[in-house]
Amino acid sequence: MDRLHLMTVFVAVAEEESFVGGARRLGMSPPAVTRAIAALEDRLRLKLLDRSTRHVRVTEAGQRYLDDARRIIAEVDEADEAAAGINAAPRGHLSVTAPVLFGRMYVMPGIVEYLQRYPDTEVSTVFVDRVTNLLEEGLDVGVRIGELPDSSLRAIAVGHVRRVICVAPAYLERHGLPRTPEELARHTIISATGSSAAPEWRFLRDGTAQSLRLKSRLTVNSNDAAIEAARLGLGVIRLLSYQAAPALEKGDLQRVLAEYEMPPLPIHIVHRDSRHGSARIRAFIDLMAARLRAEPALNCASQA
């Protein structure tokens, strides 16, 4: 069998963690997929997949081969697109990652527009509140909030957000307005998404960053849940400004201690470097960058 075809089958099975799922993705029969994997393992003289009645997992050798196979397939696809011409219509599969709430609020509408505009494309998403490794996880494009570490990724700036302190008007009526960061120690604190029971919040005072460790009364692993608890008047929450924007606009939450906020955090679209560039990646980045730059909630660098 063609080696590139075998690689493609292996990547599909590994990513779906299922022979049936890989077959469905490729439009092949499960027996044909099984034969392809067997032929690839025979060619390499390596066991690439561990099979059980419930799961399919890549072996250690299989993980290394998976990373290389993804890169090779991507380069072949990009070479085909380059040969077809710079104006070729986007086609093929695109994988996108972003933070969970940001992905739902801002990336998913862009993905829907992209799929409607380019009918020969497919998109898969990884919306998680952690920094993903695009190369190791086989992802094409990501959205990053915060300063970027040095890397081989290309980055396009699309906006800024701030960390803001918010409370519900009903909470303020009962407990009063905190006027300095230190006064937060007397208030009920809500922490979201991976925060410890004693989160460390940073503030800017006279041009100097200061940290304040606070004890949370409620800690949740979902920004949506934390926002709901704050909206219902439980306590004080720290959010990224885009997360708070809908509730602030409705008046469900109120921003406090704005004069102590840290400098804004940049938002970037990042993608893997490429010799040829990909029509599907270029088109998606252009569309998404235009949408994000037009969002008022994502361009708050100058707001107090």
Q: What per-residue confidence (pLDDT) applies to 277?
A: 57
Q: How confident is the model at residue 278 (pLDDT cuts 50, 70, 90)?
A: confident
Looking at the structure of the chain, the number of domains it has is: 3
In terms of domains, do 94 and 83 share one?
A: no
Give me the pLDDT at residue 106, please: 97
The CATH code of the domain that includes 277 is 3.40.190.10
Residues 277 and 236 in one domain: no
Read off φ and ψ for residue 177, nearest 5 degrees: -90, 125
Residue 304 belongs to some domain of the structure:
no
Q: Say if residue 142 is in the same domain as residue 288.
A: yes
| One domain, residues 145 and 282 | yes
| The pLDDT value given to residue 194 | 52
Containing structural domain, residue 22: 1-88
pLDDT value, residue 232: 97
Chosen domain end from 88, 108, 126: 88
Q: How confident is the model at residue 272 (pLDDT cuts 50, 70, 90)?
A: confident
